[in-house]
Amino acid sequence: MSSSLAGTYVFDEVGSPEGDGIIRFSQLLDGERQAPQAFGNQINSGTFNAHPFIAPDESYLIWDGRRQEGYGGSDIYISFKQEDGRWGDAINMGSDINTDGWDAAASVTPDGKFMLFHRLNEHGNANIFWVSATIIDRLRDAN
């Protein structure tokens, strides 16, 4: 689970054995926690959608999942909140982040400088990688 400064919770749900994981959110409105709602198809397409991270200011959402156009077992995606409040289409974070293996569970450090994520190695162990969070700005500017 991840949360924004406004109190929006974002979390995954395992789903069926076929991997139709759903990412949901719950907002705090007028001091009351709202019932969870699923994000739209921009986020919840493909399978095994999991490990969401919402930006503190809710300007972007990062998660991992499997999509036909992906690089491998699981790729990391980002969606930017549009001016009208809707979420933009999922953007694969590209070959600088994703490999033909399992790349997942991304988050951004509290100071906003680095993005950390997990990648399985050939022995099935997850290693933690980090890159400059400027990749987020580059993807936002390119789309």
b/e code 103-138 from CB counts within 10 Å (16+ = b): bbbbbbeeeeeebebbbbeeeeeeeeeeeeeeebee
The pLDDT tens digits for 2-52 are 999 999 999 998 766 666 789 999 998 898 999 999 999 999 999 999 999
**Level-2 CATH architecture, domain 2-142:** 6 Propeller (2.120)
pLDDT (mean) for 71-95: 95
The pLDDT tens digits for 94-121 are 999 999 999 999 999 999 999 999 999 8
| pTM of the predicted structure, to 2 decimals | 0.94
pLDDT band at residue 72 under the 50/70/90 scheme: confident
- Domain ranges within the chain, ordered by starting residue: 2-142
pLDDT (mean) for 47-59: 96
Chain Cα centroid distance, residue 124: 22
Per-residue model confidence (pLDDT) at position 78: 98
